[in-house]
Structure 1
Amino acid sequence: MSDLFEFGKGVLASQPFSVLLGTELEVFEPGTAVLTLVVREELKQQHGFVHGGVLSYLADNALTYAGGSVLGDSVTSEYKINYLRPAIGRKLVAKATVLSSGKNQAVCQCNVVAIGDDGERMVAVAQGTIIKAGTKV
């Protein structure tokens, strides 16, 4: 395992909300991050699929990981998410990549996929601007 990956796992372990949800870091390398989350009943809404807030959290965190992979310690400046279809399945996978980066900010994109008995289905897509921590905006 790389030093970057080990660093990323430590960051995730220091995020109480991520620990509460059970988020796992699968990939963390320059320009790319993959976070996964096992779907539990507590994460669903009244129609039986994963709550949009959970999808939004996962996309936001993956975007910031991707940006942080090229910027260092980072935070989200802004992002948007499009929900494509209900998130039904056993596991969620959020894969984020850096589209463009500079000295203090990176624009990243994230696809969130639900994995179930019938395979993988993209359930959301997000794009965000990630900034180096401490950058004045």
Structure 2
Amino acid sequence: MDIEYARAGLARQPFSVLVGARLTAFGDGAAIIEIDARDDLRQQNGYLHGGVVSYAADNTLTFAAGSVLGPALLTAGFTIDYVRPADGRTLRAEAKVIQSSRSRATCRCEIYSDDELCAVAQGTAVVAVKR
């Protein structure tokens, strides 16, 4: 799976389109997603909403996993710790696979607001079972 195929998958996610997510790097167990900080994505204090930061972590973790497991994945779970408010112009989530098997990958993700770390996450994606 190459970056263009992965970008097409991102474009098929209505919520990703809504927040304006861009896949800027993909492959070899890693992925980067960026989101421009728009006013409609902010909370009442002017920072990017934690849900947007969490979305970036979740989706980037799964794209990193997809670079080794293929596109039919689901998030099995993830945790996130907010380090500081996201108040920059661009949110950038960078994820890397730290362990994988044939059906499961565990990844770490660092989320930056401009170039300042604002959150860290770890999560697991699993190959989706067809029903």
Q: Do both proteins adopt the same fold according to a TM-score greater than 0.5, normalized to the shorter chain? A: yes
The Cα shift of 1:4 comes to 1.1
In the TM superposition, what whole-angstrom CA distance separates every residue of 1:70-108 from its partner, at most 9, and x where no partner exists? 011211000000000010110000000000000110000
Q: Which 4+ residue blocks in structure 1 deviate beyond 4 angstroms?
A: none
Q: Which residue of 2 aligns with 1:35?
A: 33
Query: Normalising by structure 2, what TM-score?
Result: 0.96
Task: State the secondary structure of the residue aligned to 1:88.
Answer: coil
Aligned mates of 2:27, 2:43 — CA distance in 1: 33
The Cα shift of 1:29 comes to 0.6
1:132 aligns with 2:124: no
Aligned mates of 1:4, 1:132 — CA distance in 2: 18
**Which runs of 5 or more residues in structure 2 are unaligned?**
none
1:51 aligns with 2:68: no
Q: Which residue of 2 aligns with 1:69?
A: 67
The Cα shift of 1:31 comes to 0.2
Q: Which residue of 2 aligns with 1:81?
A: 80
The Cα shift of 1:27 comes to 0.3
Task: State the secondary structure of the residue aligned to 1:103.
Answer: coil
- Structure 1 counterpart of 2:129, which letter? G
Identity level (%)? 46
Aligned mates of 1:105, 1:65 — CA distance in 2: 13
- Structure 2 counterpart of 1:100, which letter? Q
Matches within 5 A, 1:109-124: 109-115=108-114, 120-124=115-119
Equivalent residue in structure 2 for 1:10, among 5, 8, 30? 8
Aligned mates of 1:60, 1:85 — CA distance in 2: 18
Aligned mates of 1:31, 1:76 — CA distance in 2: 16
Aligned mates of 1:109, 1:133 — CA distance in 2: 20
Q: Which residue of 2 aligns with 1:93?
A: 92
Aligned mates of 1:56, 1:75 — CA distance in 2: 16
In the TM superposition, what whole-angstrom CA distance separates every residue of 1:33-54 from its partner, at most 9, and x where no partner exists? 0000000001111111001000
**Which runs of 5 or more residues in structure 1 are unaligned?**
none
Aligned mates of 1:44, 1:60 — CA distance in 2: 18
Aligned mates of 2:98, 2:29 — CA distance in 1: 8
